[in-house]
A and B are shown apart, each in its own frame.
Chain A
Amino acid sequence: MDFLSHHYMPGAVTIWCALIFALASLWGYSQVLRGDKRALSFARRGYAFFALSVVLCAAVLLLCLARRDFRIEYVAQYSGLDLPFHFQIAAFWAGQKGSFLIWLLWGALLGLPLRRAAGRDEASVMGVYLLTQFGLLFILVRENPFIMLSETPLDGSGLNPLLQDDWMVIHPPVMFIGYAAAAIPLAFAWAAMWRGDTDRWATRAFPWTLGGFMVLGTAILMGGYWAYRTLGWGGYWGWDPVENASLIPWLIGIVLIHGLYLERTKNRYRRLNLVLACLLYLSVTYGTFLTRSGVLADFSVHSFVDLGISRWLLLWMGFFFVGSIVLLAKQLPRVPTQVNEDPVVSRGFFVVASTIVVGLSAVVITFGTSAPLLTRFMENPGQVGPEFYNRVHLPLALVLALLLIPLPFLTWKGTGLRELPKKLAPSFLVGLLATGFAAWQGVEDPFHLLLVFLATAALSSNLHRTVEIGRSGQLAKAGGYLSHVGVGVMILGVLASSAYDQSAKVTLEQEVPQRVGDLTLTFKRFIPREGRTKERMEVEVVSDDGLRYMAYPKLFVNDRTRQLMANPHIRKTLARDLYISPIQYEPGSPPGVDQRLVLERGETGTVGDLEVRFVDFDASSTGRAAMARWSATGRLDVGVEVEVRRGGATTRLQPIYRLVGGGVETPPTLLPGGGAIYMTGLNPADETVQLDLAGIGVKPQPAKLSIDLTRKPLIKLVWYGLYIVLAGGALAIWQRLKAARKVDEIATT
């Protein structure tokens, strides 16, 4: 009965139900495959109940989070009373267990349309698809998010402040849709190999692969934008293992999409596509293993610590690895192939060559990310820095851009080569102009200039073709070319913003303008917290061309963790982004810092370079006459005589303590050489006076703000390029969905 008291029942029951229904559905589909057609409705119902259980399970967790039910460990770990509602929901995927659950949720939901799309291959495709769900199911049953605490805390630990950002609400869920979709090509490929019929799967898997590519691409874009916009890391991509773990499947997806395209149009690369579909899913499981098992805990900013699930992750990955090998070894030799008779300068050859480049990128990133694992068995494990990826990708980008230039005007048979120079001439001209402009802007590196030329030529030749096709009224067929335009734009953006960014660390004194390049920066003031708006700095930026604006970067200490958090201010213009990231703020000290002396008659006190001796009370302020004056005017000046010695000169001063009505005034008496003295109290009983001194010896310290000022030229092109790539993908999905629907029509007629 330990289980009952330690688990939140509604949640624990639904997760077990999901496992049981998934097993039942798998059994049903296996019966269908053995020839028992009646089992089909059982299998379908099983799947529906599996999906329902997962939905309910997610709903229970969501409800617990919304109700702030701190009895549940997961809720207590990732949420707190002070969290606004949308972060309360986002806490769902803040931890290991919850993120596995949302992954499973998308997987279960994607299976519903997949069942219909699989058509008459339903039993085999859904059978394999269910197998992919078990990896997550087993982990969730083992690492149940519904474990209850023995004592209910009054408040939860709260969400990590770094994650308290609006992007946290949307970025991870989208990422997990992409991961869940990666299982679909594998399901089609395994099913095809299992049936021994590898003719149809490519058509059916094509739109799903494109869809997964789109979603994952969108998630990567959002992640990059999040890192750039709010995390204050100064960039959109850091080659961190967790980032790479999402990039590798995306790149393999690109290769698979092109392979499927060739298979559909030329009936080629049929074997390779089966391999790629397996690799796509394996790369997701491998990435999950790397980032979730704790093997990279020392190397990554956002790697999870080990929950003791490494073995499960290995088992999961190993199952699909071995399964893929066995199926491929058995079936690949039976897949019919065609002898490649295309000439070298032809469309097919260029598509293959450019996808090889993308594949190489995936391989290199896999090796780089695995460095800590690969070197683990050597003497000293290590990791590779971002410069490795940056350097290795320069030649890859050059070759890729080169290959993309002629691609839109090549034919399958390699004919019409004579007209090629004429068709490409405008693009080369645009490329030359861009290169000239880059050189004029100060780009000197010959490789960078070459890359500018090739990327610009590639984007304009592909744009040229997209427009041509669009004019003929078949824009849906131009998806590929449009994506390649985006690739060219992205290459330019990445090159300009990463190789030609300028960064400077500057310390600004309050109200003192400082020139940095062609800008004049003035730190105006510190703005304290106003409600939900965190502490901000007001910095005036004036550029030489007359533009003037206020920047408000944020710098605050998180209340719970006492961690210093910085949110940069980014000024975006078409040509460049100006990024002001606060690093450190020193409040300084105001000029009138007070020093207090309490002196007896005849005593001397020292403040800074000043010696003060209390000589005597002013005789005129005591006695009968003074009392009479007080009662007549309601005002009495109590004076003291002090001797002030500074730099060898001695001065006598009479500071005043003035009684007015019921109150007291202490007017300042200025000191020679700067500063002032105030008489702020007297004690007739022991004959002491209290003297306050201001502005003595202590130089006033102005407030100082240290900032990181970064200029990133053309960084907008990175985002725009990716938007164009994704828009091209959307067109291609439209085109391929139509084709996929026709498969069953053809088969049934």
Chain B
Amino acid sequence: MKKKRIYYALGAVLLLVFAGFSFSEFKESLTPYVPYEVALESQRTVQVAGGLAQGSSAYDTEDQFLRFTLVDQETAQTLRVRYHGVKPANFEDAVSIVAIGRYDAAASEFAADKLLVKCPSKYQGIEDTETKTYS
């Protein structure tokens, strides 16, 4: 019976270690929605949302750099965003854009790893065209 208890204790320790590991990964991977001023200060990956400032988007086809300005619909604050990759379809028609990434202080713009673009749609179901990272 003693031997068994040791095994149970070992199992409990393993479970605790796994719980701790998962929790730290959870915190690590969590990308919170933040206002622009928080994004400017933040060292971690965050999400910012806003509308596209009229005529602010420029796309460099050669290097595949998309630059545009987000406007917070409520506070009218703006944020310059840079995205390296293929320009999402119908980008100019976007109603709202979610950019996930972190602020690049050196270039004073937000470097997005991922864009989530919501287009005006009459469909109820799928509404987003997302640049997804799949595994």
Residues of A whose CB lies within 8 Å of any CB of B are 77, 94-96, 157, 160, 162-163, 227, 233-239, 298, 301-302, 304-305, 343-344, 353, 360, 364, 367-368, 371, 375, 378-388, 390-392, 395-396, 498, 505, 561-564, 583-584, 586, 706, 708
Contacts and interface: CB of A to CB of B under 8 A. Distances in A.
A388 B26 contact: yes
B26 A395 contact: no
Contacts of B18: 360, 395-396
Contact of B128 (A301, A380, A381): A301
A94 B122 CA distance: 13
Nearest to B85: A505
A239 B29 CA distance: 13
A305 B124 contact: yes
A215 B102 CA distance: 42
B56 interface: no
23 contacts: A94-B125, A163-B125, A237-B134, A301-B128, A343-B4, A344-B3, A371-B26, A380-B32, A380-B33, A380-B34, A382-B31, A383-B31, A383-B47, A385-B133, A387-B29, A392-B21, A395-B18, A498-B135, A561-B121, A563-B89, A563-B129, A583-B86, A706-B86
A302 B126 contact: yes
A160 B122 CA distance: 9
A380 B38 contact: yes
Contacts of A304: 124-125
B22 interface: yes
B119 interface: yes
B30 A382 contact: yes
B134 A388 contact: no
Nearest to A562: B90
Contact of B4 (A301, A344, A364, A379): A344
Q: Closest 10 A-B residue pairs measured CB to CB?
A: A235-B134, A564-B89, A382-B32, A388-B29, A380-B32, A498-B135, A384-B29, A160-B123, A583-B86, A382-B30
Contacts of A505: 64, 85-86
B22 A364 contact: yes
Given A157-B123, A392-B21, 15 more contacts: A77-B124, A160-B125, A163-B126, A235-B134, A304-B125, A343-B4, A368-B26, A385-B31, A388-B26, A388-B28, A505-B86, A563-B90, A583-B86, A584-B61, A584-B87
Given A95-B125, A561-B121, A386 B135 contact: yes
A209 to B, nearest CB: 26
Contacts of A388: 25-26, 28-29
Of the four ranges (under 10, 10 to 19, 20 to 34, 35 or more), the interface on chain B belongs to: 35 or more
A380 B45 CA distance: 13
A265 B30 CA distance: 43
B134 A386 contact: yes
A385 B29 contact: yes
Contacts of B87: 584
A103 to B, nearest CB: 16
Contact of A371 (B30, B122, B127): B30
A163 B127 CA distance: 12
Contacts of B31: 382-385
A498 B15 CA distance: 26
Contacts of B133: 238, 385-386
Interface in B44-92: 46-47, 49, 61, 64, 85-87, 89-90
Given A375-B32, A386-B133, A298 B98 contact: yes
A399 to B, nearest CB: 8
A384 B61 contact: no
A229 to B, nearest CB: 13
A472 to B, nearest CB: 33
B21 A160 contact: no
Given A368-B26, A380-B38, A563-B129, A234 B32 contact: no
A428 B26 CA distance: 35
Contacts of A380: 32-34, 38, 46
Residue among A237, A382, A390, A586 with the most chain B CB within 10 A? A382
Nearest to A157: B122
B82 to A, nearest CB: 17
A28 B33 CA distance: 52
A123 to B, nearest CB: 40
A382 B135 contact: no
Contacts of B29: 384-385, 387-388, 391
Contacts of A368: 26
Given A505-B64, A564-B89, A238 B3 contact: no
A234 B134 contact: yes
A375 B7 CA distance: 36
Contact of A381 (B11, B33, B98): B33
Given A77-B124, A304-B125, A563-B129, A383 B21 contact: no
B43 to A, nearest CB: 15
Nearest to A162: B126
A531 to B, nearest CB: 24
Contact of A238 (B90, B122, B124, B134): B134
B110 to A, nearest CB: 16
Nearest to A160: B123
B63 to A, nearest CB: 11
Contacts of A343: 4
Interface in B7-40: 7, 11, 15, 18, 21-22, 25-26, 28-34, 38
A375 B30 contact: yes
Contacts of B22: 364, 367, 392
A476 B28 CA distance: 46
A727 B7 CA distance: 34
A390 B64 CA distance: 28
B19 to A, nearest CB: 9
A371 B87 CA distance: 29
A728 to B, nearest CB: 25
